[in-house]
Amino acid sequence: GEGLDGLLDAVVSDERLRGLLGEVSVPRLTGASELACRASIRGVNAPVTLRVQARGARRIQVMLYPPSAAGRAWVEDRFSRIGCFPLRRQDCIFMPAPWRLASGVTSDPDEAVARALRLVDLARQLEHAPGREALSDFEGLLGELPHGIR
């Protein structure tokens, strides 16, 4: 295609991220014509993955992706615990609002890595956070959710 596989590889193989991720899946074309790969997150004991996807025009999106019912249950439990459930999406995929619209999508691999690092850190913190006070550093990512951190 448009070199999107190289773009995904540049993000998920970045040395700042590699030590935080488990196995990275082979990039696959998904339903909305994105090329996407997923990786488990070290320190998160649930089937919730980091998903990195690229579309034409080299636009990169990063999200927390629960590929199974167990992963969706983890997302519901952890986001409920901090008062931020339900998410905007019924499938329990979490992509922060500032990154969602066309204006928030990046074409810069370094920015995509920074976003991935932020979501990995969020997932690891969600694993053990007793409540939303423990996640005040993530206010900018969670603020738009129904009962986001204020």
pLDDT at position 146 is 65
pLDDT at position 102 is 82
Tens-place pLDDT, residues 9-59: 999 999 999 899 999 999 999 877 889 999 999 999 878 999 999 987 779
Q: How far is 111 from 105, CA to CA, in rounded Å?
A: 10
Which of the four pLDDT bands, split at 50, 70 and 90, describes residue 66? Answer: very high
Q: What is the pTM of this model?
A: 0.91
- 145's CB contacts (< 8 A; 6+ apart) are 79, 84, 85, 87, 88
Which of the four pLDDT bands, split at 50, 70 and 90, describes residue 149? Answer: very low
